Amino acid sequence: MPVFGTQMFGSAAAKTAVAYSVTDTSGSTANASSFTFTSQAFGAEDSSRVIVIATAGSFNNKAGAVSGITIGGVTGTEIVAVNSTSGDGTAAAIYAAAVPTGTTGTVVVTLSVTTGASSRGFGIGVYRLTGPGTLAANDTNTDTGTGNRTNTLSVNTEDGGAVIATGGGTSTLGSETYTGVTEDGAGGKKYSHGGIATTSDESPRTVTVATVDYVVNSFVSASWVPA
């Protein structure tokens, strides 16, 4: 009779938690199809470092989208994106790239069209994830609408992970209220973003953004988990 020892099966490898932090936030207004944000803080170098860019903004009497983002000279991978096509357009997106070296860098957000007016614009939130070194998100969600409303962006989470959300609108920035994540930045450029390190498994974690004085709004969220 064969004898089975534990050495034949081994044990499941422990997962590596996500170390999460927000490192910078910036915004700009211009009638442009590209926004360049220089000297953005990326935090300490790490071989597993993933830089996540949360971006949102608005267009004047036209629909538009985020068509690409470079992060420290590296082409970002789209994690989730959405744009509104009713009335004035808005767009929101989350991109990520492996950027192991450099404590600062330039982030370039490229749009499908010009914003159409100098009163419009885009902003970014810069997030640092280390540990698993994984670009792909575990879960994503989007929401768009018009008027004062609550955007729902719920995503599945795990202990030792992170959630990032972003969005914007087309009227004067109101008093938006985030729940489920901590708001990290906002501006009259009609963008806001937030995130959180997750400490529990939730299916899903309820993430909402209640907007005030947003005519047309678009929001996205993504979660990362240990791997």
How many CA atoms lie within 13 Å of 187's alpha carbon, on the beta-carbon side?
Answer: 18
| pLDDT score for 176 | 84
| Interval 17-46 mean pLDDT | 97
Section 115-135 average pLDDT: 95
Considering the entire predicted model, what is its pTM? 0.93
Q: Which pLDDT does position 173 carry in this prediction?
A: 59
Query: pLDDT digits over 147-189, tens only?
Result: 888 999 999 999 999 999 999 887 765 678 899 999 999 887 6
Average of per-residue pLDDT across 194-208: 97
Rounded alpha-carbon distances, angstroms, from residue 94 to 10, 85, 151: 38, 19, 16
**How many residues appear in the chain?**
227
- The answer for residues whose C-beta is within 8 angstroms of residue 3's C-beta and 6 or more apart is none
Looking at the predicted structure, is the pLDDT value of residue 57 above 60? yes
Tokens standing for residue 114: 């010009």
The full set of domain ranges for the chain reads: 17-224
pLDDT, tens digit, 9 for 90 and up, residues 40-49: 999 999 999 9
Burial of 120 (0-12, 13-18, 19+ CB in 10 A): buried
Helix ranges (DSSP H) in 39-161:
none
Nearest by Cα to 219 from 201, 197, 181, 227? 181
Instruction: For residue range 133-153, list pLDDT tens digits in order.
Output: 999 999 999 999 888 889 999
Burial of 87 (0-12, 13-18, 19+ CB in 10 A): middle
- Spatial separation of the C-alpha atoms in residues 58 and 170, rounded to whole Å: 6
Q: What is the rounded distance in angstroms from the CA atom of residue 60 to the CA atom of residue 31?
A: 9
